[in-house]
Structure 1
Amino acid sequence: MQTRATVTTANSAILLSKLCRHFAHKVPTNLAGAQGIIDFPFGRCRLAADCDRLDLAIDIRTGYEALQAEQVVGEHLLRMSRDEDLAVDWVRDDQPRASREN
């Protein structure tokens, strides 16, 4: 399963960096330019910054993990964006990762 969100923001690269640096104190992370990965116990979060948006995709196994992932990442993103009024709208893909076509 996967839960995804695209957040419109002019500060996508800054927010990506802040999220990766913050979570690096708790879980493994990788930041490479406009791409980031955060390995949470509930699943892997992939982040990609573009000029006007931040794309988030989290691989999870259960609906409970999806809810946990959405809350943790969403709340931290909103907290770090202070001056922006961001909307983080998650969309879940309920198909197991192994059966999804790429």
Structure 2
Amino acid sequence: MTTEAIVKTEFGALYLKKLCRHFAHKIPATISGSQGRIEFPFGPCRINVNDEQMHLHIEVDDAAEMDRAEQVVAEHLIRMANKDEPTVKWIRNNPALENTAI
């Protein structure tokens, strides 16, 4: 299961660095150019940024962890966003439900 958010901000590169540095104190987190990856216990979070937005993508194995995953990433991003006030709206994708006949 995945959840994604597109966050409009021109400060994505700065926020990417802040998030990865913050989490790197406790869990593996890497940055390579305009991309980052944070290895949360609930699943990995990939972040891609450009001049206009951040794309957040989280994968979880357990549906019960989805709310927690979204909350942790969004709260930390909003807390670190001192240049603007980004809005994080998650869109969930559950492949198991897509293959279910109705």
TM-score, scaled to structure 2: 0.90
Give how far 1:95 is off.
1.1
Give how far 1:84 is off.
1.2
Aligned match of 2:59 = 59
Instruction: Give the number of the structure whose alpha-carbon radius of gyration is greater.
Output: 2
Choose 19-28 or 61-70, whichever is displaced more: 61-70
Q: Which runs of 4+ in 1 moved over 6 A?
A: none
Which segments of 5 or more consecutive residues in structure 1 lack a partner in the other structure?
Answer: none
TM-score, scaled to structure 1: 0.90
Aligned match of 1:89 = 89
Aligned match of 1:24 = 24
Partners of 2:64 and 2:50 in 1: CA distance: 29
Give how far 1:82 is off.
2.4
Q: How does 1:1-102 map to 2 (within 5 A)?
A: 1-95=1-95
Contact 2:11 2:83 survives alignment (8 Å)? no
* One-letter amino acid of the structure 2 residue matched with residue 36 of structure 1: G
* One-letter amino acid of the structure 1 residue matched with residue 49 of structure 2: A
Question: How many residue pairs are counted as aligned between the two chains?
Answer: 97
Choose 59-68 or 70-79, whichever is displaced more: 59-68
* One-letter amino acid of the structure 2 residue matched with residue 67 of structure 1: D
* One-letter amino acid of the structure 1 residue matched with residue 66 of structure 2: A
Which segments of 5 or more consecutive residues in structure 2 lack a partner in the other structure?
Answer: none
Matched position secondary structure for 2:73: helix
Partners of 1:21 and 1:27 in 2: CA distance: 10
Partners of 1:85 and 1:47 in 2: CA distance: 18
